[in-house]
Amino acid sequence: MEEKIKIGFYALTSCYGCQLQLAMMDELLQLISNAEIVCWYMLDGKSLEDEPVDIAFIEGSVSTEEEVELVKKIRENAKIVVAVGSCAVQGGVQSWEQDKNLEDLWKTVYGDGKVKFQPKMAEPVSKYIKVDYNIYGCPPEKRDFLYALGTFLVGSWPEDIDYPVCLECRLNGNPCVLLERGEPCLGPITRAGCDARCPAYGIACIGCRGAIDYDVAWFDSLARVFREKGLTREEILERMRIFNAHNPKLEEMVEKIFGGESQ
């Protein structure tokens, strides 16, 4: 009998929304017949985190010292490591205040509350281990996950998306909230794949799928539009930090958009 592909789902610090999204997919049952789920606490409390797996899916940001050790262990035991969702890929919204002091943040939220773990500032999984593939979004789209898992299960490798949300938005014929209402939509510099979900409801994109590669976004036209609409460098930078606080090119990118001119 053919050996099944072993899969593990692991959760770090997160809202568990990505896992929930995956657990609720009927389509998963069809794919999973070719696989064995070795670890997934949300579905089975007796899951073993130490078992070797072919594919490890990791949700959440690395936000405790214990999680640093956990991701290293997962990497040692897995042939392929996939970061799932904005928390795992970019560090999530919990990385927004990177420039603040952990103790001050802790006191603001928990006061003098004590915990059994050693907290640290939230960081993406790739900060500590090699990640082989990213599934973007907060939470990711079902089809992204099914595409990645299905492709791995047939022994191939999924492609990455290298075009911005604007492309899908234009194809869907949504009114542009940036051009028509002057709202700070990050669609031009955010990785597509969500079918322009937010602009489809008249809401400006906040970049949950992460900034698209620096050299493919449309900086020149974007700079002109942002300026025309009276949006400042600080406004755009602050908005991009929500989901891109760890992007090493963030400031450079915003600098390029605004051409180094003071606003």
Binding mask 63-92 vs ligand SF4 (x if CB under 6 A, - otherwise)?
A: ----------------------xxx----x
Among 18, 83, 153, 217, binds ligand SF4 (CB under 6 A): 18
Q: How far is the CB of 128 from ligand SF4 (least distance, A)?
A: 17
- When CB distances to ligand SF4 are compared, the closest residue is 187
Nearer to ligand SF4, 62 or 198 (CB): 198
Among 129, 178, 212, 231, binds ligand SF4 (CB under 6 A): 178
Give me the phi and psi of 146, to 5 degrees please: -65, -40
CA distance 208 to 185: 12
Q: How far is the CB of 155 from ligand SF4 (least distance, A)?
A: 27
Nearer to ligand SF4, 76 or 228 (CB): 228
Q: Is 248 exposed, middle or buried (0-12, 13-18, 19+ CB in 10 A)?
A: exposed
Comparing C-alpha atoms, which of 123, 131, 88, 82 is closest to residue 102? 123
Whether the Cβ atoms of residue 69 and residue 42 lie closer than 8 Å to each other: no
Q: How far is the CB of 96 from ligand SF4 (least distance, A)?
A: 12
Whether the Cβ atoms of residue 80 and residue 130 lie closer than 8 Å to each other: no
205 binds ligand SF4 (CB under 6 A): yes
CA distance 23 to 113: 32
15 binds ligand SF4 (CB under 6 A): yes
194 binds ligand SF4 (CB under 6 A): yes
Q: Which residues on neighbouring strands pair with residue 35, listed in sequence order? A: 5
- 69: its two tokens: 């050790």
Nearer to ligand SF4, 5 or 174 (CB): 174
Among 5, 70, 206, 211, binds ligand SF4 (CB under 6 A): 206
CA distance 73 to 244: 26
Q: How many CA atoms lie within 13 Å of 189's alpha carbon, on the beta-carbon side?
A: 29
Chain residues binding ligand SF4 by CB under 6 A are 14-15, 17-18, 59-60, 85-87, 92, 138-139, 165-166, 169-170, 174, 176-178, 185, 187-188, 190, 194, 196-199, 205-209
